[in-house]
Copies of this chain bind each other. A is one copy, B any other.
Amino acid sequence: MSHMQGWAVQQAGQPLVLTAFDLGPLGAEEVEVAVDYCGICHSDLSMINNEWGTASFPFVPGHEVIGRVSALGAQAKGLKIGQRVGVGWTAATCMHCHQCLSGHQNLCAQLLPTIGGGHQGGFADKVRSHWAWAVPLPDGIDLASAGPLLCGGITVLRPFLAYEISPTARVGVVGIGGLGHMALKFAKAWGCEVTAFTSNAAKAGEARAFGAHHVVDSRDPKAIRGMAGTLDLLLATVNVPLDWAALMGTLAPLGRMHVVGAVMEPIPVSVFTLMLGEREVSSSPTGSPIDIATMLDFATRHDIRPQVEMFPMGSVNEALKHLAEGKARYRIVLEA
């Protein structure tokens, strides 16, 4: 059970090569998952290119896994061999710290990412995780498109859970890509009035189909000013600097800008903009196992499916090129 074949990055920015790994004995609290599908997230690209300086090579990317439990460690709880599960950004957490015992396992300081710290990800025939992070899939979920929910989906839904966003809220989504298109679907199903901000006019029609009631050109300062003071939640899903002052100006009193894009440059925040409306700026990393389970239930109930393009696992390099060129509509899934 200890051998794995995965598509590995040997050096930053290089094409992936099919590589055999000896994973060693399965840990007592670990499970092994036979991979059926694995989504490609923009953070896989960031790690392949070592943009955050945290990658250790060689490593196998992929952290949006849909598969079946193929082996269980002696202390693995709540799962059965053959059970359908998903594994996302997180492979393991300590399970005993303040955050883990409070249900905020995704904030554990010892968090082991699925694609970092020597752990091997899901562009492979199998992937391992702590049992708590192999989240059972609800009946009726569409397996082929579900992968991107495990990272992108929970990332955009977490603020709705964390801040108990009301279905009466007006929600803006900035950037209609892998994360953003899922955010539109979730916000619509949540009952909210939804506005998409995109710099790509060609996406307007699809944004409406995903659930946007309104589409605003994110490069048009006048259009953004037209939204001044209206949004209860503005979800920024892109990872490039934006006209933050203009965007924060769209917030209603008591509104919140929540940033889930991995923006590297500090965001300049005007204290007066926050102060005069008692506004907030926040961010969050994916979600806990229960957040993910809750998200999967909600997505299944509302038939929220990421819009995906399928590639065979063997075409992973072509798929990554497609993503890097900004051509993915809107998320890519590799099929084992």
Contact = CB atoms under 8 A, between A and B. Distances in A.
A269 B272 contact: no
Contact of A269 (B109, B254, B264, B281): B281
Nearest to A158: B278
Contacts of A270: 266
A24 interface: no
A104 B278 CA distance: 10
Given A262-B272, A269-B269, A271-B263, A280 B281 contact: yes
B282 A279 contact: yes
Contact of A275 (B99, B275, B279, B283): B283
| Residue among A260, A264, A275 with the highest chain B CB neighbour number at 10 A | A275
A82 B104 CA distance: 54
A53 to B, nearest CB: 12
A155 B279 CA distance: 15
A254 B108 CA distance: 12
B266 A269 contact: yes
A275 B285 contact: yes
| Residue among A261, A277, A279, A283 with the highest chain B CB neighbour number at 10 A | A283
Contacts of A274: 259, 281-284
A267 interface: yes
A259 to B, nearest CB: 5
B268 A266 contact: yes
A162 B267 contact: no
Contacts of A283: 271, 274-275, 278-279
Interface residues on A, range: 35 or more
Chain A contact residues, majority secondary structure = mixed
A107 interface: yes
Interface in A270-312: 270-272, 274-285
Nearest to A260: B275
A282 B279 CA distance: 6
Nearest to A273: B283
A285 B254 CA distance: 11
A104 B254 contact: yes
Given A268-B266, A269-B269, A280 B280 contact: yes
Contact of A259 (B266, B267, B275): B275
Nearest to A97: B253
Interface string A24-38: 000000000000000
24 contacts: A104-B253, A104-B278, A107-B278, A162-B278, A259-B271, A259-B275, A260-B275, A263-B271, A264-B271, A264-B272, A266-B268, A267-B268, A268-B268, A268-B269, A271-B283, A274-B281, A274-B284, A275-B283, A275-B284, A276-B285, A278-B282, A280-B280, A280-B281, A281-B282
Given A107-B254, A107-B277, A271-B283, 11 more contacts: A107-B276, A245-B266, A259-B271, A260-B275, A264-B271, A269-B269, A274-B283, A274-B284, A280-B281, A281-B281, A281-B282
